[in-house]
Amino acid sequence: MNLANQSFLAVIDGPEPAEWQPWDTNFKELSEQVNVADLRLPPTYQHLCDYRLSLLLESQEAFSKRKNWNRVVGAVVDGRTPAHAAEVKKAFDLLCTKLQASSDGWFRKYGFYVAVVLPLISTPEHTEFWHDLKLRATNLLGERVEVQPVVEEAHIRFVLPDFNRRLIFAHAKNSQ
């Protein structure tokens, strides 16, 4: 993988994203699997297959101190527990504010992608939470924002490569 072409989705769930395990697989293992997933790219885009999304699994402390946000193009957000929604929104707002200040951020060219992890049976509070995240991102970033609710591990295994394909297609369009 060409690291110069690597982009990131920040994982926002709590103090240690690598250990977060909403399903059978923790996010560190999921990240490793996503990095080698077949993107099912059409032949005309195969030369761009090294534009890979990776999960940014930084601790909450490291995340808050991060200086370089240029290649962050979205987030995976824990929306399962309304009890810590304020903490998650605060971290999400920090991400959006840092990106807003990044004049050469890749999200400006390729879009901003958010996967919100929700319980299988969502309440109105869960729905309101992910709609609120989309509004927050749109208001802070003023760019194309796509938010996908995710309720199962199989779904996130589809959504993340799909976000990656969209990034590649946007890159190809911007390179013309």
Element (H, E) at 108: helix 107-110
Range(s) of the domain holding residue 99: 3-174
How large is the greatest C-alpha to C-alpha distance in the chain, in angstroms? 46
The backbone torsions φ and ψ at residue 74, rounded to the nearest 5 degrees and listed phi first, read: 165, -165
Q: Which residues pair with 17 in a beta bridge?
A: none
Residue type, 45: Y
Residue 2 confidence (pLDDT): 61
Residues 6+ positions from 150 with CB-CB distance below 8 Å: 115, 116, 117, 118, 156, 159
Which long-range contacts link 22-28 to residues 24+ away (Cβ below 8 Å)? 22/78, 22/80, 22/117, 22/153, 23/152, 23/153, 23/156, 24/153, 25/153, 27/55, 27/57, 27/76, 28/57
Residue 103 confidence (pLDDT): 84
Residue 82 confidence (pLDDT): 77
In which residue ranges of the chain is pLDDT below 50?
none
Total domains, the chain: 1
24: domain CATH number is: 3.40.50
